A and B are shown apart, each in its own frame.
Chain A
């Protein structure tokens, strides 16, 4: 909603040491002259009820009718409730944490810093506008892909909350692997006895639910569109159908690791070496017998981590196998009370209260366990198998003879084999994925996870319907609004969007699927034409802020206090709070840097560098989040993209005769307040070494 007739007011707070550190008369002059805001008021404690009353008075339409507020006080992260005025544009200028608490009081540079922050605030408020939500039609049907225990739970939870659900399963039966279980490990206190697999009750409930449409023998041919407006084409027994879907829960689960790759553990050596999945089938058929001769085994050896926790096979722990083997050891015992089960493990992993189940199973006289590294499985006389192991609790290399060997085989996510959804558009981390798609887990955990995924799917819908962003910028009503006439089809935005929210039409023109957009602004940073902007965040707004700075001339460049000027572009979620924390700790921050928070460093547009340098600013520091494998960027790739863009920049700078070191990116965590002073000082010292920006004179 655009503000029709803008009336600006600047409110300066003198509390928290701001008043004592700055010359307010000078500050007011700057706001009036450079900021072009004439209505200026001061207060000793602006956030106090008295201070707020003063502002409220000015907001009245019958009075001053101010509707654009510049509040120069503390960090926007504090006193947010106090300085929140409906339908009024508010711009916070942080004179407390970034100035009064981190600079020498009444120093000329401190005053200059505060004045620059006021200039930037004024520049910003002139260009920003109130957000208007992006609303489109929105279908609220949820598609759940996968009819295993996770998919069933997710479908049921969503339907119980009143949503239409379409459940798609590629097999003829619902239930997935969970339905093939003979018994399930206990999922509730006292965790001592096996239970019936919970999946059967779930299937019945799902099938009886009026809001759930179950499609078995069904695969997904194609999905296109965006959340709220997805067109999913499914194929049921050869018949294709297109369904309008709001959001998707991907719960296609897992498949067992290919046991033929486990020949080192004897798979294929004898029919009596089986996987835990095969053993489960044997148990389900009734009495456990050896596949080779149909005799009941007297001894069964379980080899844990068959494939899992093995860099040659699966580089993770499959989570369920320890509990499963303990359960299957009980099958052995129940099937033949004279039989023994020997479990050879790397570590027994029965986390939380499932430890109680471990203890219960152990207490059975015929269940035996040891830590061991299995070194081989071979045939032994008398139709037996010999399992050899080292590093056992007996302190010696040992061999066990067994009638059967069960390999506790791990899990592989199904998404590894096949893309499942067959998306027609770019992919990104935009879908709520569940359970074994992300990582292996046990049934109870998978069910909890399914609820979470259903919740996320519902939220995605509701936020789309309301026209606001989802996590992490939930409730953000702004959205990228490209000025397409000037688009050159360079495709940087489509390539760089971390969420696959920008696609191309047949002619190669990008179009935005706002419902998939997380509002990080990466597209805005990517666009060389500067045509992608938000209502309150744009290339122009930041550019205007940069240009608003006062850049004094350098008289003596060797003077350590020569008034160099720098810009700091910082991640508003991590580096900016760290700056605030430095303020609370009263650390001294370098007075020559002016900080501008960005939604994400992904929105860093190279044009700002030329804007700044051409104005005579001496350098720019970017405080970004960790990128790479363990990235800490909330938008996954923002910091990485900023780094990438910077790498391109050095050539340009070289051509201009400017040194690449003038623009640097430093990784800063939110807890790094203590590192900041040195990081900033080092950067400033480096640029001072290079010397002032030669463009200053022009």
Chain B
């Protein structure tokens, strides 16, 4: 027995990481969370609503944040990435590098700095749909509720102006990257997923055809804390779209891009169809799909959307997306494969149901682990003491990721107790 026996490092503070961390901590382990973004909550925080009950995800996150607040067994670091790992189960030696936030714990989130800040940056939380100041709170419910400076956007006198506006001595422009060392018994990998770079699918027109957006952008457009205050407006002219197409399997199930199914895109598009229909009872929605994948009880949700007269489901893949000449509208081409021939229709906006890529694809964990060519961790081949969670292993929805994360916490505890 040694002191690390009850210590677990959770890499990633999204929904899966939080769940794994909380479950382990609530069972008595000491848990450290390292999250690379300046806030906890990950992708889930960016959703407008999520399954199964279509509640706002901030509600589930709020509970988790509260559990963290009340739990003395959890410490977390944001803007933190694991840069080096050595050792083995029971005795991992981990180096975590914390990027400078340039804002310290004195920050009260009063927003005075942002009001004074002269520089702007593209808002990655909103997938580039709007801008924030170079000093910003990632989103209104961000936890921790602390501002952060985007150093690449905050040049020249920007930092100085921000600092001068702060009455609380919370801005520290000289903050340096910090290197932390931890000894832990077990590591839970919960790095989550990134959205596939859909501009690589040239025929879908993302980035070249106006009013072609991704499903995650759609979530932000629908969210009350999003770029449009929750009113779904198309980007080119801020008009509410009347006729919208959803293009399923954008990148997924395609061996030129992602050979696997991303699991949740069918449900996401059906859900987003309800956003549009709620906002505009006249809206016309077309969902183009290959196979509608609404597993288990999600089926009933599909029925509900299918039976809505404003929603049409067409069995056919969109393989051409073009700007309608002379307008900001978008023309898509597909085939109704149940005998309907080619369909060429024009829409106000097109939503691409973009698939997910494990975060380990772009950035493998600093330990030699086994990955599939697509970057998924192969759990059977993980070394003792390391557990992977949720979408790092396979595309999943939030609910199943949570179940998986709970199981992962147990696996991690077992690997501790075996020592």
Contact = CB atoms under 8 A, between A and B. Distances in A.
A touching B, CB within 8 angstroms: yes
Interface of A: 15-17, 45, 47-49, 74, 77-81, 157, 160-162, 188-190, 308-309, 311, 315-319, 345, 347-356, 359, 371, 391-396, 439-441, 445, 448-452, 454-456, 458-459, 462-463, 471-472, 474-476, 573-574, 577, 581, 584-586, 626, 630-632, 634, 669-675
A673 B22 CA distance: 27
Nearest to A158: B410
A353 B260 contact: yes
A392 B338 contact: yes
A317 B296 contact: yes
Contacts of A586: 111
B263 interface: yes
B67 A474 contact: yes
A48 B106 contact: yes
B371 to A, nearest CB: 9
A160 B414 contact: yes
Contact of A448 (B110, B297, B404): B404
A452 B410 CA distance: 7
B59 A475 contact: no
Given A308-B299, A359-B259, 12 more contacts: A15-B167, A189-B372, A315-B300, A351-B293, A371-B291, A440-B296, A452-B407, A474-B22, A475-B71, A573-B59, A577-B141, A673-B224
20 contacts: A45-B108, A78-B108, A161-B410, A189-B378, A309-B299, A317-B299, A319-B295, A351-B295, A352-B263, A354-B261, A391-B338, A451-B407, A452-B407, A458-B27, A471-B26, A474-B67, A474-B71, A573-B63, A573-B66, A577-B58
A440 B296 CA distance: 6
Residue among B55, B294, B303 having the largest count of chain A Cβ atoms under 10 Å: B55
Interface string B130-146: 00000001001100010
B224 A573 contact: no
Interface residues of B, number: 81
Nearest to A84: B69
A597 to B, nearest CB: 12
Contacts, number: 220
A161 B414 contact: yes
B71 A671 contact: no
Given A80-B69, A455-B23, A48 B168 contact: yes
B108 A16 contact: yes
Interface string B61-80: 01100110111000000000
Nearest to B413: A161
Contacts of B23: 455, 459
Residue among A16, A394, A626 having the largest count of chain B Cβ atoms under 10 Å: A16
A354 B262 CA distance: 10
A344 B7 CA distance: 51
B396 interface: yes
B253 interface: yes
Contacts of B417: 160-162
B28 interface: yes
A74 B108 contact: yes
Residue among A316, A348, A391 having the largest count of chain B Cβ atoms under 10 Å: A316
B28 A351 contact: no
B380 interface: yes
Given A440-B296, A445-B400, A349 B407 contact: no
B207 to A, nearest CB: 26
Nearest to B380: A188
Nearest to B52: A630
Interface in B300-350: 300, 303, 315, 337-340
A584 B59 contact: no
Contacts of B67: 471-472, 474-475
Interface majority SS on A: helix, strand, loop or mixed? loop
Nearest to A161: B414
Nearest to B372: A189
B296 A584 contact: no
B379 interface: yes
Nearest to B404: A448
Nearest to B223: A671
A581 B141 contact: yes
A454 B410 contact: yes
A394 B337 CA distance: 8
Nearest to B230: A674
Given A355-B260, A440-B296, A474-B71, A455 B396 contact: no
B403 interface: yes
Contacts of A471: 26, 63, 67
Interface of B: 22-23, 26-28, 48, 53-56, 58-59, 62-63, 66-67, 69-71, 106, 108-111, 137, 140-141, 145, 167-169, 223-225, 229-230, 253, 259-263, 291-300, 303, 315, 337-340, 372, 376, 378-380, 394-396, 400, 402-411, 413-414, 417-418
A89 to B, nearest CB: 16
A520 B168 CA distance: 38
Contacts of A78: 108-109, 145
A455 B410 contact: yes
B116 to A, nearest CB: 15
A175 to B, nearest CB: 21
Contacts of B337: 371, 393, 395
Residue among A348, A349, A392, A463 having the largest count of chain B Cβ atoms under 10 Å: A349
Given A439-B297, A448-B403, A353 B224 contact: no
A463 B106 contact: no
The 4 residue pairs across chains A and B that have the minimum distance between CB atoms: A451-B407, A395-B339, A452-B406, A671-B56
A347 B303 CA distance: 14
Given A347-B292, A671-B225, A352 B394 contact: yes
B260 A352 contact: yes
Given A371-B315, A448-B403, A448-B404, A459 B27 contact: yes
B108 A189 contact: no
B53 A631 contact: yes
Contacts of B303: 311, 315
Contacts of B224: 671-675
Contacts of A308: 299
Given A161-B410, A393-B338, A585-B140, A669 B109 contact: no
A462 B400 contact: no
A441 B296 contact: yes
Nearest to A305: B299
Nearest to B137: A584
Given A352-B395, A626-B55, A317 B298 contact: yes
A188 B403 contact: no
Given A352-B260, A454-B410, A577-B58, A674 B229 contact: yes
B229 to A, nearest CB: 6
A450 B230 CA distance: 38
A458 B26 CA distance: 10
B141 to A, nearest CB: 6
Nearest to A634: B63
A78 B298 CA distance: 36
A584 B262 CA distance: 36
B403 A449 contact: yes
Contacts of A675: 224
Contacts of A160: 414, 417-418
A669 B299 contact: no
B32 to A, nearest CB: 16
Contact of B376 (A45, A353, A451): A353
B372 A452 contact: no
Contacts of B229: 674
B59 A669 contact: yes
Nearest to A80: B69
A618 B404 CA distance: 50
A353 to B, nearest CB: 5
A396 B339 contact: yes
B261 A355 contact: yes
A597 B23 CA distance: 26
A111 B56 CA distance: 34
B294 A317 contact: yes
B263 A351 contact: yes
Nearest to B396: A352
